[in-house]
Amino acid sequence: MKYQDFVNAKYKEALAGQPTSIGGSNFVKQAASDFYRTDYEFIGEHKIFRSADIESKTQAVRQETVAANLVEFAGTEEAAHVLSSVLQQGVVTGLLTSLSNSEGVALNSHLRPVNIKTTTGIHRQVTLFKDDGTREVILDPRGMGTAKFKLSRNENSDFKLLVDWQAYYDLQRDNVGENLVDGLPLGENDVIGVHFQTEFIINKVEADKGEIQISTDGISATFSGRLQMN
């Protein structure tokens, strides 16, 4: 299945689910859960909203603020509902599982995405082995929480979403005692960096009718870090 077909099917399914109401407007349930903790930027004609500028740390206040600004940016409640389907961590999960080799073996079959639970949460420090032979300590490997979602309009007034995410992977573990799985020659506490970017164009006419139609050229993935070759 082509990536464009995959994302259209995936987010049509998300829209078909039971919505969550915030401030009287409907949003995809997962997006409503993610509103308070995700890095958003909505670039309108006369206003730029950044979730990082919300002063309140209260979950409900942050959710309501993001929801209200999304409706304002989208122009209609129907379009805001549609846009919410691609403003949630399922989009990042799609990036996470999208990379595979020429034989169709997924990247995450032998590498594991790192996050707080597998690093700082257990007082474990991870490093990126650089080309000059030094190791850079990765201070804040927060997993999907570091993804940035930037919404704007293109020259046709359609919605444009850019997703930018710096991810890190370490060696995959098994399900018994967190034993390392044989795979790439990577140090036990070393990581490989993957900088993901993807752009969606969401048809505004369809969005105003409550329907989603996405165009995309796919995913850009830039790798960093060295393997430990002996």
pLDDT value of position 162: 97
pLDDT over threshold 90, residue 80: yes
CA 5 distance to own-chain centroid = 18
Residue 9 domain flag: yes
DSSP state of 17: S
Choose the weakest-confidence range: 7-11, 98-102, 105-109. 105-109
Any domain includes 113: yes
For residue 80, being part of any structural domain is answered with yes
Residue 229 lies in a domain: no
Query: What percent of the chain has pLDDT above 90?
Result: 58
pLDDT band, residue 114 (cuts 50/70/90): confident
pLDDT for the residue 31: 94
230 in a structural domain: no
Query: Residue 30 contacts by C-beta under 8 Å, 6 or more apart in sequence?
Result: 14, 88, 89, 90
Tokens of 202: 């969401």
What total of structural domains would you count in the chain?
Answer: 1
Confidence of residue 105 (pLDDT cuts 50, 70, 90): low
Which one has a higher pLDDT value, 1 or 14?
14
47 assigned to some structural domain: yes
The whole-model pTM stands at 0.87
Q: 100-109, 144-153, 188-197, 217-226: which range is least confident on average?
A: 100-109
Is residue 213 in a domain?
A: yes
Task: Using a pLDDT cut of 70, give the percent of the chain over it.
Answer: 87
Alpha-carbon gap, residue 111 to 121, rounded angstroms = 19
Residue 186 has pLDDT above 70, yes or no: yes
pLDDT of residue 28 exceeding 60, the answer is yes
Evaluate if residue 1 carries a pLDDT over 90: no
Report yes or no on 70 lying in a domain.
Answer: yes
Q: In the prediction, which pLDDT does 3 show?
A: 81
Range of the structural domain that residue 138 is part of: 3-224
The strand pair at 219-224 and 190-202 is best described as: antiparallel
Q: What is the pLDDT of residues 124-178, one digit of tens each?
A: 888 999 988 899 998 877 777 789 999 999 999 999 999 999 988 888 777 665 6
Q: What is the 3-state secondary structure (H, E, C) of 60-99?
A: HHHHHHHHHHHHHHHCCHHHHHHHHCCCCHHHHHHHHCCC
Average model confidence (pLDDT) for the chain?
88
Lookup: tokens for 190: 């070393």
Q: Phi and psi of 99, rounded to 5°?
A: -80, 135
Q: What is the DSSP letter of 212?
A: -
